[in-house]
Amino acid sequence: IGLLLLHHDFWDDATLVGGFLPIGLAYHVALSILITVAWA
C-alpha cells in the first residue's frame, strides 16, 4: 500500500503517448491497472 509513493508522480511534461494521450494521464492509467493487480 505504501503504491501511494508511486501515485505522487511527469508534472509539466506535455508529451503525448502515441500522439493522443498526455503522459501524466497515461502514467496514472497504468498505475490504476497496477493497483488492480496488487489488490488481486
Partner 1 sequence: MNDYSALTSLPSVLLALQATDASDSMSAGLIRLLVIVAYFCLLLILGGVATSFLKNSNRDYLLASHSIGPFLLLMSLFGTTMTAFALVGSSGEAFVDGIGIYGKLASISGLVHSLCFFVIGTRVWKYGKRFGHTTQIDFFRDRLDSPRMGLFLFPVLILLLIPYVLGGVIASGTVVQSLTAGAFPTFFPHEQAALAGGVPPYLGSLVVCLVVLSYVFFGGMRGTAWANCFQTLVFMVLGIVTFYVIAMKLGNGTDLFSSMANAIREVPRKHITREEMSHSLFITYMLIPLSVGTFPHIFQHWLTAKNAAAFKLPIVMHPFFIMLVWVPCILIGVWAAAPGVLPEEWYGQPMAHQNKVLSYLVTKHTTPLVGGLLAAGILAAVMSSLDSQFLCMGTMFTNDIYQRFVRRADAVSNSTAVAASPATEAATPTGAAAAERLPAPAETSVWVARGFILAIVAISYILGIVLDGRSIFRLSIWCFSGFTGLFPLILAALYWRGLTARGTQAGIVTMAVTWSYFFYVSGFGQGVMGEDGVQRPYKLLVPGTDWDILPVVPITLATTVVMLAVSWLTPKPSAETLQRYFDEATVPTP
Taking CB under 8 A as the rule, does residue 35 contact partner 1?
A: yes
Residue 9, CA distances (Å) to 6, 21, 25 in order: 6, 16, 11
Whole-number Å distance between alpha carbons of 36 and 19: 26
Task: Tell me how far, at minimum, the Cβ of 25 lies from partner 1, in Å.
Answer: 4
Using CB under 8 A as the binding rule, the residues of this chain from 5 to 24 that contact partner 1 are 7-9, 11-14, 16, 18-22, 24
Contact 21, 31 (CB under 8 A): no
Q: Which residues bind partner 1 (CB under 8 A)?
A: 1, 3-4, 7-9, 11-14, 16, 18-22, 24-25, 28-29, 31-33, 35-36, 39-40
